[in-house]
């Protein structure tokens, strides 16, 4: 009886170890709070009071506020996979009034292929001593005197 119990406990641990885990990162305000914002009326101060300040802003200036929430699935030894992403973008005009409110999801994104250019080793070329000796023939007596 005890062997059977240990077997079931071991099976439960194995199955629990194979179940995926989900990590949530970031913050998106509630839909009702975002719906209460009015384009052309609200400004940065009222937006910050209603839904809070963002974790990201525009790169060159603060004309855009970005709220981002991501869900990542981790499963055994596989690479983590982003299964859900939501982005709320609020842009402002020159007077800091809300110009546009836009919500984007993972389906709206684009995959960007990175080109990894790696120098292969070993790199062959003249050594320090070869460069030094090679440059001696290029110096004239006039250059040494000056």
| Rounded average pLDDT over 48-63 | 79
Distance CA 31, CA 48 (A): 15
- The mean pLDDT value of the chain amounts to 80
18 φ, ψ (degrees, to nearest 5)? -95, 0
Q: Is pLDDT larger for residue 55 or for residue 118? A: 55
Q: How far apart are CA 24 and CA 99, in angstroms?
A: 29
Cα angle at 117 between 114 and 122, to 5 degrees? Answer: 155
pLDDT the model gives residue 120 = 66
As a whole number of angstroms, the distance between CA 4 and CA 12 comes to: 12
Tens of pLDDT, residues 69-116: 889 898 877 888 888 888 888 988 888 899 999 988 888 776 655 555
Task: With a cut of 80, say whether residue 136 has pLDDT above it.
Answer: no
Global confidence as pTM: 0.61
Residue 32 pLDDT grade (very low, low, confident, very high; cuts 50, 70, 90): very high
Q: What is the DSSP letter of 108?
A: G
């Amino acid at each position: 009886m005890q062997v059977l119990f240990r077997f079931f406990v071991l099976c439960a641990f194995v199955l629990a170890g194979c179940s995926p885990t989900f990590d949530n990162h970031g913050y998106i305000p509630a839909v009702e709070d975002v719906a209460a914002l009015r384009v052309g009326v609200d400004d940065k101060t009222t937006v910050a009071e209603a839904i809070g300040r963002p974790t990201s802003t525009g790169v060159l200036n603060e004309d855009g506020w970005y709220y981002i929430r991501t869900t990542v699935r981790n499963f055994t030894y596989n690479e983590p996979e982003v299964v859900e992403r939501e982005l709320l973008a609020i842009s402002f005009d020159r007077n800091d009034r809300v110009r546009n409110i836009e919500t984007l999801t993972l389906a709206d994104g684009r995959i960007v292929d990175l080109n990894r250019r790696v120098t292969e080793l070993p790199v062959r070329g003249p050594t320090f001593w070869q460069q030094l000796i090679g440059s001696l023939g290029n110096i004239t007596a006039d250059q040494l005197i000056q």
